[in-house]
């Protein structure tokens, strides 16, 4: 992430979103699956360097919106999945390595599966260290705790690289303490961050822009400081 800055000179925290160079934008987007509306008439722009939280009741369309945003720039986005996207039988190393499967030839990938090369070892060790997983790098991912597994998922996104970090409910299966750690990590390492979250207080605490989704529609899109209890009540009401 660090090696790929925004195409914008000085991203400052606290600015109005509209003032930044938009890296992702949707214009009156409607998505339907099998005749069911999944997103209805959504327009939004996300600027470089923003930290955006998506909140709303389950079924509101958060995941769909995230995926749609991802598709806008798949080459620049890294996606942190919920834990199920990890392969529990593979080592931490390999799960992180999977972030760049499509950057390498299949032959190289096969070789790495059996015997990883020196370069990959070094690169991934650096990432693992930054996530506090240095000692676990050859451990089966399935044997790790929930928090550690979530770090592996982050590691995969980090290794993939790209200026936009997306996360779908990254802390849904963690307790509050672990959840805070992980969110802090995501917000720190990502340049532009978009994450769906089911915990409103964490969103308000760590993100600077909050998008509320309800019934497949945009309910509100406000800086974190301006979200009122009334907004939230209406969103979840």
Partner 1 sequence: MVRTSLSFLALAGIALLFSDLSISTLDPWQELGRMLQGMLSPRITDPWELARGLARTLSIALLGISLAVAGGGLFALYFDHRPVRLFCAFIRAVHELFWALLLMPLMGLNALCAVLAIAIPYAGVFAKVYAEIIQESERQATDSLPPGVSRLSGFFFTTLPLIYRDLKNYTSYRFECGLRSSAILGFIGLPTLGYHLETAFSEAHYSEAAALLYCFFLLIISLKYWARPGFIVVPLVAALLLTSWESSLSLANITRFLSYDILPWPMREAGFYDGSRSVAFSLWPTLLWCKQVLVEQALPGLWLTLLLSQIVLVGSGLFALSGFPPATTPLSSPAGRGLAHLLLVALRTTPEYILAYCFLVLWGPSMLPAIAALVLHNGAILAYLSARDADGIPLPFDASEGRLNRYCYELLPRLYGRFLAFLFYRWEVIMRESAILGILGLHTLGFYIDSAMSVDHLDTAMLLILVTALANMGVDSCSQEIRRRLRISAEFTSST
Which residues form the interface with partner 1 (CB under 8 A)?
Answer: 67, 70, 74, 79, 81, 84-85, 87-90, 94, 98, 101-102, 106, 109-110, 113
* Nearer to partner 1 (CB atom), residue 74 or residue 117: 74
Q: Rounded distance, CA 61 to CA 199, Å?
A: 16
CB atoms within 10 A of CB 145: 11
* Nearer to partner 1 (CB atom), residue 76 or residue 221: 76
Q: Shortest approach of partner 1 to residue 94 CB, angstroms?
A: 7
Q: Shortest approach of partner 1 to residue 79 CB, angstroms?
A: 5
* Nearer to partner 1 (CB atom), residue 113 or residue 134: 113
The dihedral over CA atoms of 228, 64, 27, 227, expressed in degrees to the nearest 10, equals 10
Residues with Cβ within 8 Å of residue 156, at least 6 apart in sequence: 78, 80, 86, 95, 96, 98, 99
| Element of type H or E holding 24 | strand 22-33
Q: Shortest approach of partner 1 to residue 236 CB, angstroms?
A: 27
**HSE (side-chain half, CA atoms, 13 Å) at 219:** 24
* Nearer to partner 1 (CB atom), residue 20 or residue 62: 62
Q: Rounded distance, CA 63 to CA 61, Å?
A: 6
Q: Shortest approach of partner 1 to residue 229 CB, angstroms?
A: 35
Closest CA to 170 of 43, 84, 70, 57: 84
* Nearer to partner 1 (CB atom), residue 41 or residue 84: 84
Q: Shortest approach of partner 1 to residue 193 CB, angstroms?
A: 17
* Nearer to partner 1 (CB atom), residue 153 or residue 185: 153
Q: Shortest approach of partner 1 to residue 88 CB, angstroms?
A: 8
Closest CA to 152 of 76, 51, 82: 82
């Amino acid at each position: 992430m660090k090696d790929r800055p925004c195409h914008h000179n000085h991203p400052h925290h606290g600015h109005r979103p509209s003032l930044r160079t938009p890296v992702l934008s949707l214009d009156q987007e409607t998505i339907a699956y099998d005749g069911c509306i999944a997103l209805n008439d959504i327009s939004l722009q996300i600027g470089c360097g923003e930290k955006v939280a998506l909140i709303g009741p389950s079924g509101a369309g958060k995941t769909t919106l995230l995926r749609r945003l991802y598709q806008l720039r798949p080459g620049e986005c890294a996606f942190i999945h919920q834990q199920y996207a990890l392969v529990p039988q593979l080592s931490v190393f390999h799960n992180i390595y999977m972030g760049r499967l499509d950057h390498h030839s299949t032959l190289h990938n096969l070789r790495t599966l059996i015997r990883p090369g020196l370069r990959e070892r070094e690169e991934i060790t650096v990432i693992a260290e930054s996530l506090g997983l240095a000692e676990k790098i050859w451990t089966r991912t399935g044997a790790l705790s929930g928090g550690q597994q979530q770090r592996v998922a982050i590691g995969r996104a980090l290794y993939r690289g790209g200026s936009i970090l997306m996360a779908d409910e990254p802390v849904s299966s963690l307790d509050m303490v672990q959840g805070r750690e992980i969110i802090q990590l995501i917000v720190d390492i990502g340049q532009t961050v978009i994450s769906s979250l089911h915990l409103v207080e964490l969103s308000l605490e760590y993100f600077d822009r909050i998008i509320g989704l309800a019934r497949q529609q945009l309910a509100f899109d406000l800086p974190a400081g301006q979200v009122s209890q009334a907004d939230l009540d209406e969103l979840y009401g």
